[in-house]
Structure 1
Amino acid sequence: MQAFVTGGTGFLGANLIEQLVNDGWQVTAMHRAGANVRRLETLGATPVQAALDDVASLERALPAQVDAIFHLAANTSMWRGGNAQQWRDNVEGSANIARVARQQFAAQQRPGRLIVTSSISAYGYHRTAITEDSPKLADDPRHHYLYSKKRAELAVREEVALGLDAVFLNPCGIVGKYDVSSWAQTFFMLAEDRLPGVPPGSGSFCHAGAVARAHIDAFHKGRSGENYILAGTDASFLEFFGIIARLVGKPVPTRTTPAFLIRALAQCNDLAARVSGREPTLTPEKAAMITRRVVADSSKAAAELGYGNDLSLEDMLRESRDWLVSEGLLAVEAPCGGAH
């Protein structure tokens, strides 16, 4: 089996490539010019340079016969200063890979399928648990990441209407090894006593390994054109940050910072960023997300794909911590509060 992976240099991409190779797939992993491809090679993938905004490079990069294209690449910025680039990456880039995929599958001698890594963010904000039947409410351009993820799905669906076989996965908060930029930042802030406060929101957290396995299962068992939400353990950020604090040997936070203070600070940061041109650590878009309850139900993925998120949240976070320590990226003190 031949797989082509976009976003292979990211942390979910590394988990997916690892599992594909272990399953016996031959994997070609796309990377941008100048990217470090050492991990791709170590995992057993063949790196190939291409860009989502360069259709000719995508056509050259694809293997002559490909069974699955896993489109994981995404721009996850939550800063208004990056909106234009995010639109090009998420929406126009998804349209390009979907069109190239449809044309490639039509030309080759065997069928192929596109697996699209979307996000729970494509559904926007809901007051109750999100399911695949929930309306996709991400229609406010001020929340541009959410806005772009919904429109990335719509762009791919235009190719589905022309005959592309595609399945859409909508993960929640992904936790696990190979992460250096997502929730890993919370490990760094807590370990270095830089955490300004704990937001009052909550979310669904899923294991990177389980999400990667769901991508492979979606290729084999998913229904074309369908969305599958990948949720996991629901927890407040106070609980989430508390586990990380114990894992890095720091005192466990006991209270949250009021939402209005977080949002006010984000607005001040945004005003300063308009002058400096530099992305602030806390933006209004981030503040909106971390002060809400964003939880979801993955019953459909469990029933149709066999998706299971069996690790506890503490075990997911411990895997992330242990990998960061093994890579020399994180130093931890003696555990506090009984964590091991």
Structure 2
Amino acid sequence: MSSRFDLQREWEGERQSMKILVTGASGYVGSNLCRALLREGHSVRAFVRPTSDLSWLPHVEDGGPLELAYGDVTDYGSLLAACYGCHVIFHTAALVEPWLPDPSRFFSVNVGGLKNVLQAFKEAKTLQKIIYTSSFFALGPTDGYVADEKQTHHEKFFCTEYEKSKAVADKIALQGASDGVPIIIVYPGVVYGPGKLTAGNVVARMMIERFNGRLPGYIGYGTDKTSFSHVEDVVNGHIAAMHKGRVGERYLLTGENASFVHVFNIAAIITGTRRPWFHIPLWVVEAYGWISVLLARITGTLPLISYPTVNVLRHQWSYSCEKAKVELGYDPRSLKEGLAEILPWLKSLGLITY
């Protein structure tokens, strides 16, 4: 059996086809990542829950057969079994919601899942590298400045339980790197673009609300900037991290830093429609969020906007991806380019009209 050193030497020498495990493969980033890895000629094993929606996973015509492995990142036995025979693991699995009735689930999935991946790496001897998908939330807000990979979360406050869980997981990943685990950590911004309309695809969901009249104005005054990342750029950044990333390093896969006012204005220009003519105060949005959470507890349906969402909107989340550009060749598109793609796509699906 080849040692991890031999596998790394082969990897650097030829970039040969590898056996790759993708956790969270049925998710927004995960499904797009599986498709891109197949196109590159790799053998991909998608780790999915038995209840996962597999409709967005690639099929044979997308580049080759996709092997399914059923389990859960919180179930160590199923995860370990899925790791055997694989050379690289992309750990994209995460619970991405602004609010859940049981906040402990964020920690069991986002923290416990990463711990299980790190433990499985030690036992599955063929594994040679982990690419871990963190989040800009793990680095904390950037009120008044633009942050880079040197930033760590100040931990003075957390806007959401999701943010807290990713900050805790970030420490675990960094400790793993210090302990010699060959892990590379990537931090996408607000990911948007065509694909699965999960909670993580927040821009698409906001455009649906905007162009169906349910979001008639700007949310707040919209001057606080957030970093937006097109899903294809994020996926390309993941694969570049596998090929070129330095073990133990962190890479921000962010993009244009812009306000939601700017997002809505660009969308109006692209669609030839009127811009919103008023601002919805954050206290109104927060009240709506509390009502939505109350209804969610009754109906069991997660709300689009909850009060933790408003906490996020009160801060800036601006980051520089210069390191990823230099070391990985990361090349994020502009927000205008990305929206010019996603809006016609939503229209073609009948989800918006303009």
Report the TM-score when normalising by structure 2: 0.83
Give 1:3 deviation, angstroms: 1.0
Preserved CA contact (<8 Å) 1:198 1:238? yes
Distance change (3 Å), C-alpha of 1:79 and 1:196: farther
Deviation by residue 1:133-168 (Cα, 9 ceiling, x = unmatched): 223124535621111101112233444344321011
The corresponding residue for 1:123 is 139
Of 245, 248, 256, which residue of structure 1 is paired with 2:279? Answer: 256
**Counterparts of residues 1-340 of structure 1 (less than 5 Å):** 1-42=18-59, 43=62, 44=64, 45-64=66-85, 66-79=86-99, 81-104=101-124, 107-108=125-126, 112-127=128-143, 128-138=145-155, 140=157, 143-181=160-198, 182=201, 183-195=203-215, 197-199=217-219, 200=222, 201-247=224-270, 250-267=273-290, 269-270=292-293, 279-309=302-332, 311-326=333-348, 328-333=349-354
Identity %: 29
1:279/1:269 CA distance change after superposition, 3 Å: same
Contact 2:193–2:231 (CA<8 Å) still a contact in 1?
yes
Residue 294 of structure 1: SS of its match in structure 2? coil
Shift of 1:197: 3.3
**Distance change >3 Å, CA 264–CA 40, structure 1 → 2:** closer
Aligned equivalents of 1:207, 1:277: Cα separation in 2: 30
Post-superposition CA distance 1:242-294 (Å, at most 9, x none): 33345556432144333344345435555666777764432221001123221
Range 137-146 or range 285-294, more displaced: 137-146
Tell me which moved more, 250-259 or 87-96. Answer: 250-259
Output the CA distance in 2 between the equivalents of 1:52 and 1:146: 19
The number of aligned residues is 326
Q: String of CA shifts for 1:2-41, please: whole Å, max 9, x gaps.
A: 1111121122122212221111111111111122324324
Structure 1 unpaired stretches of 5+: 334-340
Matched residues in 2 for 1:126 and 1:291: separation? 11
Name the Cα RMSD after superposition: 2.4
Cα deviation digits, residues 218-252 of structure 1 (max 9, x gap): 11221222211122112110111233345556432
